[in-house]
Structure 1
Amino acid sequence: MHKNYHVPVMLKECIDGLNIKADGVYVDVTFGGGGHSKEILNKLGPNGTLVAFDQDLDAQQNLLEDARFVFIDQNFRFLKNNLRLKGFKHVDGILADLGVSSHQFDVPERGFSTRFNADLDMRMDANAPLTAGKVLNSYPEEKLHKIFGLYGEVKNAKSLACAIATSRLEQQIKTIDQFKEVIKSYIPKGKEHKYLAQVFQGLRIEVNAEIAALEDFLVQAAEVLKPGGRLVVMSYHSLEDRPVKNYIAKGKFSGEVEKDFFGNQQKPLAAINRKAITANEEEIARNNRARSAKLRVAEKI
């Protein structure tokens, strides 16, 4: 077990949100360092079950020795089929912590971090075909503009995309240092760290199709939860929080909630908290990652 693999944010609030029954079936779709999973197992009795998902090979070094623990080496966007294959048609609670684990940022060769020089990789699933390098070297300029603007929320996304498209004509962009060199004149002075984090976020979300995967997951989570079952989702930026909030509120990702003939709302989930739960000052002081975290809890209607 990596000692500082990932300190779970708002651990108590996440576990409370699940409202755990001792003999229930629970799913942790972002196993990571296993911090949440361990806590769920502590609350389960001998007949309870915890199913954990993670597509990251590094996370598999942290697997728990427990008869009640089932591990599935998959992305959570394939939640429903994988649960079926293991014989679980319905479950009592599902937890998703959408943060990239701090461990992934600390392994240079994964290419997630702006601190190290490495190949432009950024794949959560090491077998996936698309890398950050492929995105930078082969995507049309308009598409790069969209990724940095929409996913990275980068202010000068258009000129950034243009700089990349021009530079790669002379030479392919292969490493993080090379990429930083290409874009250095576009980085606002004094805001280097934040700007690069946003650029990398945009790339990472594209490489791993994170928003599409999240939407697939939310729809399936609502389908596999038993009535009264809980969905607990923690996100770290508005791009992730928005689909979660919309799906809980309306049962869809855009537009208004549908109503039946009698005017009853047609949606699978009901929010437990009116507003997202955020970390307290004490936790933020201990763990900076908690600052941007938003926790939403919903119940299957």
Structure 2
Amino acid sequence: MAAMLGGLCLSLAAQGGDHFSAISRVDDHAWYRNFGGDRVTEIQDQDLFYHGIGRSIEHARQADIIILGSSLVSFAVDQAVMREQLEQRYGLKFYNMAFVGVASGEFARQIALKHHVHPRLWVLNADDGGGGGNFFHRNLTRAFGADVRPIPSTKLSRYGATYEIIRRNLRWRVEDATRHARDALAGPLPRFDRDDRTGAADMSAFPRFLADRNPTVKMTRDPDCHTTPDIVANAREFVQSLGAPVILTFVPNFHGCVTQVREIAAAIGVETALPPRTDYSSWDGGGHLDARGAADFTRDLVAALKTTRAFQDLSANGDRRQP
């Protein structure tokens, strides 16, 4: 048994993925299995980022621009478009540090402070959580549908987080190897990979994400929706703690409120980069964008960023990574 476990450990270590036991892509080991499970879904990146395990934090520290948000951002930002429209044209490294299931930005803020992540520009999706909580709330919870609980990473030691990461990967490997011999209900739940170099999420396994004729987002929220003094106070403290210029944006979703974004930005004195439309295509009825919607949104987001003083100052100063 010891020999078998030793051989397994050597095999996993030799694969060269983001972290020990990572389920990586054969053709690109920077991509790792992040979210999965046949009957019980689990996610890796909360432990990886919070405890600095793997290469993600190292790459985030090299970024010129980092975007924060929930799954709205994970689905809505197309990394290929960012690479073409932003990185190749301006030499600026972009990183997506959004977290699926985490509506509040407090978790990402704690990661940035803990690991000294200091980009030259932050972009925040200042949504009120699509009904699941405001980005500027201070709670540390994660939600997968009705399953809402405190984020375990914040209570674990680094050793405990490492154990959980290895346990998940081994569980997923067993499920992958035995799925053909089991009746896994209606099949495995959607899973997705994440790229440690860019933070990008590959959502192509989600139903209809790649479909051509998905309906567009229809905003159902009463536009007479407003922020509160508490949220403004939290937003001001949040922005001050990041230590770099901040731009607020908004990923359209049926429950979203653009009014709040504008009010918060005006109250705390930061700029906004708001795409000119909200009717991007969505795979799930207006909650999250699909592949086509993400590509269109990302192009519009970059165009909106270019109009801000913060981005213009950044691009005028060039790529800090150049000698």
Is the TM-score greater than 0.5?
no
Q: Which has the higher contact order (CA 8 A, sep 6+)?
A: 2
- Higher helix proportion (structure 1 or 2): 1
> Structure 2 length normalisation: TM-score?
0.31
Q: TM-score, normalised by structure 1?
A: 0.33
